[in-house]
Amino acid sequence: MTITVPAGSSLTLRCPGSEAIVLVTLAEVTAAFIEDLPPIPVLSLDGPGVRRIGVLELVTSAGVTWVEGEMRDDQLRIIGDAPAGLVQRRSSARQPGRFPASGTAQVVTAESRRLVAITGRVEDISTDGLLMRAGVPSLPYGIERLLLHVAMPWGDLTAAVAVVDQRADVLRGTFEWVEPAAASSLAEFCSIS
């Protein structure tokens, strides 16, 4: 199995004595093992020569794990011992892509409950859920679920998605409902190696 950290991923570095830093990866990196990952180019606000060491929440193609990381000169490196293991393993086969998506988001805050139109692209999909990047710099705060229409290679996929994680313009969710006519096409598409 190959470990991949996709471009555009959000990684969190927690350093002692300071707030957590969310970093965006600028390029995809791949290795056979997590400890063999090359330096990951990231977007940071630090000046040259600033060094930060902390616990890195590393989101990869195989799941999420925590490792010791060092950031210097817009490069994030895995340091120290190999991690104990992945704490989240995706259970179903996934397929990357850039599939146009549009739909309606249910936004719930303490003050209101409203529907908001959204557009973007699905960058990763499985029979369990998806990763979507919105077509705006930032999604509205408090999205609980979506009704999405995704342009897949075989045709449109309509699905209800419960939000698992939302950061800036990226949203991860699990399927609550998939249009029955598209469910078998999705399963076949995701099983392609």
pLDDT digits (tens, 9 = 90+) for 156-179: 999 999 888 887 788 888 888 988
Q: Is the pLDDT of residue 88 over 50?
A: no
What is the reported pLDDT for 121?
92
Query: Where on the phi/psi map is residue 134: left (φ > 0), alpha (ψ -120 to 50), or beta?
Result: beta
Q: What are phi and psi of 87, to 5 degrees?
A: -95, -10
What is the reported pLDDT for 93?
65
What is the reported pLDDT for 89?
40
Cα–Cα dist 3/62, whole Å: 6
Q: How far is CA 69 from the centre of its chain?
A: 19
Give strand ranges (E) for 2-79: 3-5, 10-14, 21-25, 29-31, 40-43, 51-60, 63-72, 75-79
Residue 85: pLDDT band by 50, 70, 90 thresholds?
very low
Q: Which residues pair with 86 in a beta bridge?
A: none
Q: What are phi and psi of 76, to 5 degrees?
A: -110, 125
Residue 80: pLDDT band by 50, 70, 90 thresholds?
low
What is the reported pLDDT for 153?
92
Query: Where on the phi/psi map is residue 49: left (φ > 0), alpha (ψ -120 to 50), or beta?
Result: left
Task: Extract the tokens encoding 50.
Answer: 């600033």
Q: Is the pLDDT of residue 38 over 50?
A: yes
Q: List, for residues 98-156, the tens digit of each pLDDT value.
A: 899 999 999 888 888 899 999 999 988 888 889 898 887 778 888 889 999 999 999 99
Q: Is the pLDDT of residue 4 over 60?
A: yes
Contacts of 72 (CB under 8 A, 6+ apart): 49, 50, 51, 52
**SS3 for 142?**
coil
Burial class (CB in 10 A: 0-12, 13-18, 19+), 74: middle
Write down the pTM of the prediction.
0.54
DSSP assignments along 71-107, one per residue: EETTEEEEESSPPS--SEE--S-EEEEEEEEEEEEEE
**Whether the Cβ atoms of residue 85 and residue 65 lie closer than 8 Å to each other:** yes
Task: Extract the tokens encoding 40.
Answer: 């990951």
